Structure 1
Amino acid sequence: MSKVIVLNDKFEKASELDLPQSYAQINPHNLYLYAKSYLASLRANNAHTKNRSEVSGGGKKPWRQKGRGGARAGSTRTNVWVGGGVAFGPTNNKNYFQKVNKKQKRLALERALAEKAEKGALFAVPSLIVESGKSKDAQAIIKKLNLKDVLIVKDFVDEKTFLAFRNLAHSYVVDLSEVNAYLIAVFKTVIIEEQALKTLTKEA
């Protein structure tokens, strides 16, 4: 059974919460497809080369067809010439979009939550707010739980908490509306506010 470790206000273990059993039965391929689609959507697609029709110049035949003893040439902008076009190079009109439907996104998220819970790496807290906005106070929370790589999911990200965790390596704070299956899967540990967890796990 996938269990969420519930922490109290002092970040000590208070109880455990069961995730729906159906989460663990979801085919992990759904998570793979979503992660693949998510990473593809991040591709900037900036690499672009010009082919021989796009390179400027080369309109005139460089020398006559016959009689000079050399190879014939029709343009100085073919791919065998320095300064010519590139054959079969990358172009920025390539579309990397990979469609994942709404139901599959939901299944991927549920599977990611189940995997974290099975590893004992999914924590729920009543609230996580760093009033001081200082990184040392945020670090104290991470150190108390003996964590190194953590995703923090809040129902609503306040400025003080965001500033406190911003400079910590291997920690990331997100709003509930920003969370997705890839973020849940890629971090070793997930800390989520109880209200956010209820919203996240309620039936779609």
Structure 2
Amino acid sequence: MEAKISKKIYDKNGVEAGSIELPAKVFAAKWRSDLVHQVVEGMRSNKRAGTADTKDRGEVRGGGRKPWKQKGTGRARHGSSRSPIWVGGGVTHGPLAEKNYKRKISKKMRAQALFSVLSRKLKDNEIIFVDSLALTDIKTKQA
């Protein structure tokens, strides 16, 4: 038989209305900050689009003609106006499109992290059990 944890249930007025039996497997799990961190970072990483992109000197439009002749002007020699050192030029080592940020989070890891967080919240009294959330009228005063 599985161990149970007993917690109080309250009604909408804050008066104790009974108790509830909770499974210890879910609400008495050991705190695993490493696992919670891995799962949260994995979830955040999976939301990333990975579509950042830049053009290098070969992809930027224009710049085919030599800006000025090689010798005789007194200026520095240049072959293209789309060089990375020019304004309007390409980007040297910028991001490439469609980078994959997906991370696989196993079902067991996700479940253990959830159990760990629920256990921690219950231990810190941040979870309150309410018998019913039904309201007669939808008004803030009754909430």
TM-score above 0.5: yes
92, 97, 106: which is aligned to 1:101? 106
- 1:115-148 deviations in Å (ceiling 9; x for gaps): 10110111222332334333x14xx53xxxxxxx
CA displacement 1:55-95 (0-9 Å, x = unmatched): 11111222233443332212111111111112223444222
Given the superposition, is the C-alpha separation of residues 92 and 6 from structure 1 closer, same or farther in structure 2, using an over 3 Å criterion?
Answer: farther
What is the TM-score when the length of structure 2 is the normalising length?
0.75
Alignment correspondent of 1:83: 88
- The corresponding residue for 2:62 is 57
Cα pair 2:36 2:113 within 8 Å, conserved: yes
Q: Which residue of 2 aligns with 1:8?
A: 11
Q: In the alignment, is the contact (CA less than 8 A) between 1:6 and 1:123 conserved in 2?
A: yes
Are 1:20 and 2:24 counterparts?
A: yes
User: Pick from 13, 35, 43: which aligns with 2:40?
Assistant: 35
Instruction: Rate the CA distance shift 1:6–1:98 in 2: closer, same or farther, 3 A.
Output: same
Aligned CA distance change for structure 1 residues 3 and 92 (closer, same or farther; 3 Å) = farther
**Which shows bigger deviation, 56-65 or 37-46?**
37-46
**Residues in 2 aligned to 1:46 and 1:132: alpha-carbon distance in whole angstroms:** 47
Aligned CA distance change for structure 1 residues 41 and 2 (closer, same or farther; 3 Å): farther
Question: Which residues in structure 2 correspond to 1:129-168 (within 5 Å)?
Answer: 129-134=134-139, 136-137=140-141, 140-141=142-143
Q: Which amino acid aligns with 1:12?
A: V
User: 1:55 touches 1:84 (CA, 8 Å); kept in 2?
Assistant: yes
SS in 2 for 1:24: coil
- Cα distance change of structure 1 residues 61 and 123 upon mapping to structure 2, 3 Å threshold: same
Inter-partner Cα distance in structure 2 for 1:44 and 1:131: 43
| Counterpart for residue 128 of structure 2 | 123
* Structure number having the greater helix percentage: 1
AA partner of residue 6 (structure 1): I
Aligned residues: 138
> Matched residues in 2 for 1:32 and 1:21: separation?
20
What is the root-mean-square deviation of aligned Cα atoms in Å? Answer: 2.8
* Percent of residue pairs bearing the same amino acid type: 34
Q: Normalising by structure 1, what TM-score?
A: 0.56
- Return 5+ residue gaps in structure 1 as ranges: 142-204
